[in-house]
Chain A
Amino acid sequence: MLSVEGLTVRAGSVELVRDVSFEIGPGERVGLIGESGSGKSLTALSLMGLLPEGVTAAGAARLGERDLVGVPERRLKALRGQDVSMVFQEPMTALNPLMRVGAQVTEVMTLHGRPAGQARARAVELLGRVRLPQPEQVARAYPHQLSGGQRQRVMLAIALANEPGLLICDEPTTALDVTVQKQMLDLIAEVAPALLFITHDLAVVASVCERVLVMYGGRVVESGPIREVFGNPRHRYTEGLLAASRLTPRGTRLPVIAGSVPAAGQFPDGCVFTNRCPHATPACEQEPALTGEGHAHACRHPADRG
């Protein structure tokens, strides 16, 4: 379905994402986790051809037969919203405040060649499919008349309208109330074709995805099935991330990863985690490769198999 090979994202001379490779099979749900600044969102945006001005992607990404990287905007335009769609983090500002919700859902279909009448009817149908009550009324509403959760459902309806092969969700529930997060996640898991799900919330990724990629410093440092990566982390960064998110007994100190994420371009050479890693040795100055079948990691001193 989706195969990414050696994806590198640069802003000028600074490498923001380096040599990222992964695959997503049809119907597979893959999580992409890491702290802010680890390059998750840039990876996703480069697949959509929506990188900010001055930021460029190199490498290869193919969705089925179609190239997603290094293709002129004219061709990418035709793919966006048609073959690959994206739901963003902030539902409150992602919809045009001056346009009725129905028209915004309809737009993505007419844009890719569906007749207007058909698209309007299907827009209402889609709003029902993302479980918005009274979809006809929602279609006539303006975004400010809907709650954050409802708006995110509208965004999902827009993303699904043309039945894309791949859905990318960038922190889709982070801005929502906890009470509606679960419903939204269940809905995404249910309706997504192939899914690339970006989050920093490990519990969320565990509930939605089958496989996970852990990113740090613009690289994938560990990847594999959720059960194995979370149950038996090998990379020291993954280990720290899991320890930091585990509930700790009352009265004990919260485990943290020492230091903070360096600014873009300020990561150490070799293994990008060396300056924060308690297990780092001079050997780590040589960049470790991502190795291993199925459950892979890029670490010179991996945690033991538990």
Chain B
Amino acid sequence: MILYLLRRLAVFVLSTAVAGVLVFAFMAVLPGDPAEVALGVNATPEAVAALREQFGTDRPAITQFFDWFGGLVTGDFGTSYVTSSPIGPQIGDRLGVTAVLVLGGMLIALIIAVPAGTFAAVHHRNPLGAVISAFSQVGIAVPAFLAGILLVFVFAVQAQVLPSGGYVPIADDPVEWLRGLLLPWLSLGLVQGAVLTRYVRSAVLDVMREDYLRTARAKGRGRMGALWRHGLRNASIPVITVLGLQLATLLIGAVVVERVFVIPGLGDLLLNGVAGRDLLLVQCVVMVLVVAVLLINLLVDLAYAALDPRLRGAR
């Protein structure tokens, strides 16, 4: 068990380091010197050199990398070359918004997928189950931003019951905060829920064919009782794998959805950084997103160990 945890943790640390190198290297080879960008086309070479020295971009790449990566580890993200404001606090504020957006979307996806998928599996032989499968098929074909635009059209433009965009911090007005997030959550959650429904259905179907479910029925449990007591936990293992992958997808989906609904999250910050040629900001946001995905993978591995005793003895 402890060995398993240590190995997973080591994998996490190692992949974070590798990701750091890759992100840094990728940004370094992109054309565009921050000092030149900051001073514009009419700057004198002396001024550019001076600014480079001030930014520290005149130092060797290795030094810059360790400076940057070491800063990340200690929580110091550096200062933007463009806005001269520290990057850490900006990311901190927006990370919370994006996390709420993604987790809320995931929650909606789960609330839809677990009952619908289980129902579709139990009724896989009759039309009701087929209807759910068909709905989830349609859901898979719809991208999140399109779902978002449709939802805005129906609920904000036509019915005018929810705002079409904007974000109110929960501390200012909890009700408006909730109203503002409802459509973004739904546009992320409905689509992911449709995808997840199919996985839940097939996981439950697989489990329904397992011998231990027959054993449970031989003990005197009914079909649903056996499934509830012995099936769902077993079925959750493959579903968690998909959930982990989906969280990563949701994080990417959030970048687009934040644009559609004008939500000041990480995705919004990333796109602003790109538009403003704020290289260091982009570099930091990308790194934070990568670490978030790696962290999700780590949590998935830990969840396996918590659920499955066979893994606890494994290495």
| B212 x A96 contact (CB < 8 A) | yes
In the bound complex, how far is the Cα of B226 from the Cα of A94, in angstroms? 13
Q: What interface size band does chain B fall in?
A: 20 to 34
Question: Nearest chain B CB to A114's CB is how many angstroms away?
Answer: 12
Question: Which stretch (B93-101, B129-137, B216-224) binds chain A?
Answer: B216-224
In the bound complex, how far is the Cα of B313 from the Cα of A73, in angstroms? 39
Partner of A81 from the list B220, B310, B313 (CB cut-off 8 Å) is: B220
A-B interface pairs (CB < 8 A), number: 73
| B222 x A77 contact (CB < 8 A) | yes
Partner of B234 from the list A77, A96, A155 (CB cut-off 8 Å) is: A96
In the bound complex, how far is the Cα of B221 from the Cα of A144, in angstroms? 23
Partner of A99 from the list B214, B223, B230 (CB cut-off 8 Å) is: B230
In the bound complex, how far is the Cα of B307 from the Cα of A123, in angstroms? 24
Interface mask (A154-168 → B, CB under 8 Å = 1, otherwise 0): 010011000000000
**A133 contacts partner chain B, Cβ-Cβ < 8 Å:** no
| Chain A residues, CB < 8 A from B217 | 50, 80
| B309 x A142 contact (CB < 8 A) | yes
Q: Is the interface of A mostly helix, strand, loop or mixed?
A: mixed
* CB nearest to A50 among chain B residues: B217
| Chain A residues, CB < 8 A from B215 | 88, 94-96, 155, 158
Question: Nearest chain B CB to A158's CB is how many angstroms away?
Answer: 7
Q: CB within 8 Å of B: which residues of A?
A: 48, 50, 53-54, 73-74, 77-82, 85-86, 88, 90, 93-99, 107-108, 111-112, 142, 144-145, 155, 158-159
Question: Besides A73-B222, A88-B215, A88-B218, 13 other CB < 8 A contacts?
Answer: A50-B218, A54-B125, A80-B220, A88-B211, A94-B211, A94-B214, A96-B212, A96-B216, A97-B308, A98-B233, A98-B234, A99-B230, A158-B215
5 closest A-B pairs by beta carbon, nearest first, are A81-B220, A93-B211, A81-B219, A108-B219, A142-B309
Q: CB within 8 Å of A: which residues of B?
A: 125, 210-212, 214-223, 229-230, 233-234, 307-310, 313
Could you jot down 24 A-B contacts, CB within 8 Å? A50-B218, A73-B222, A73-B223, A77-B220, A77-B221, A79-B220, A80-B220, A81-B218, A81-B219, A81-B220, A88-B211, A88-B214, A88-B218, A93-B212, A96-B215, A96-B216, A97-B234, A97-B308, A107-B216, A111-B220, A111-B221, A145-B313, A155-B215, A158-B215
